[in-house]
């Protein structure tokens, strides 16, 4: 079955949003590296890779449904932060925004009774719960330890072990 024009358009927009997310996390990774917080940089690089995988997941799905993808230019992203907490505040807020995009996609799929896309999007709904939770937990931890150099170094080391 061919994907509906409405769903095709919205999924194309989501591919662009996922690639913008990847670009944002790459920017954060670069910034953390410049701050000599290599564990944070590594963690953000993993986020960058994950967002690219999300984009590819959508691209593959659209292709399975006989649709085409139209890539658009990626808008500019922020490139510096005052401190790690600010970067993770932006991360948390960004993940909340991505969740709203996924919910909008799900609402559209429900509205047009596209059951296959609803099923596909369930993975993203679950993923966003995880993403928001992780970002919020790291933000709250950072707020507690950011002004304690030894604790920040320990957290940096821990983030560098992300699989």
Q: What is the pLDDT of residues 22-71, one digit of tens each?
A: 999 999 999 999 999 999 999 999 999 999 999 999 999 999 998 889 99
Residue 1 reports pLDDT greater than 70 = no
Provide the pLDDT for residue 77: 97
Instruction: State the CATH number of the domain containing residue 94.
Output: 1.20.1260.10
* Domain with 120 in it: 5-72+80-159
Q: Is 112:6 a contact under the CB 8 Å cutoff? A: yes
Question: Contacts from 37-40 at CB under 8 Å and sequence distance 24+?
Answer: 37/84, 37/152, 37/156, 38/156, 38/160, 39/155, 39/156, 39/157, 39/158, 39/159, 39/160, 39/161, 40/84, 40/87, 40/156, 40/159
Q: What is the pLDDT of residues 86-106, one digit of tens each?
A: 999 999 999 999 999 999 999
Whether the model clears a pTM of 0.85, i.e. scores above it, the answer is: yes
What is the number of domains present in the chain?
Answer: 1
């Amino acid at each position: 079955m061919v994907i509906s024009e409405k769903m095709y358009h919205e999924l194309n927009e989501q591919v662009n949003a996922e690639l913008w997310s990847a670009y944002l996390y790459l920017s954060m990774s670069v910034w953390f590296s410049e701050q000599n917080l290599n564990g944070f940089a590594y963690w953000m690089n993993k986020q960058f890779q994950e967002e690219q995988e999300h984009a590819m997941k959508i691209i593959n799905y659209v292709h399975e449904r006989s649709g085409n993808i139209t890539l658009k230019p990626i808008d500019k992203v922020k490139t510096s932060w005052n401190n790690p907490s600010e970067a993770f505040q932006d991360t948390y807020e960004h993940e909340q925004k991505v969740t709203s995009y996924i919910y909008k996609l799900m609402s559209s799929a429900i509205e047009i009774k596209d059951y296959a896309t609803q099923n596909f999007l369930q993975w993203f709904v679950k993923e966003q719960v995880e993403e928001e939770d992780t970002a919020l937990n790291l933000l709250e931890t950072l707020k507690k330890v950011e002004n304690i150099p030894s604790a920040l170094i320990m957290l940096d080391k821990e983030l560098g072990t992300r699989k």
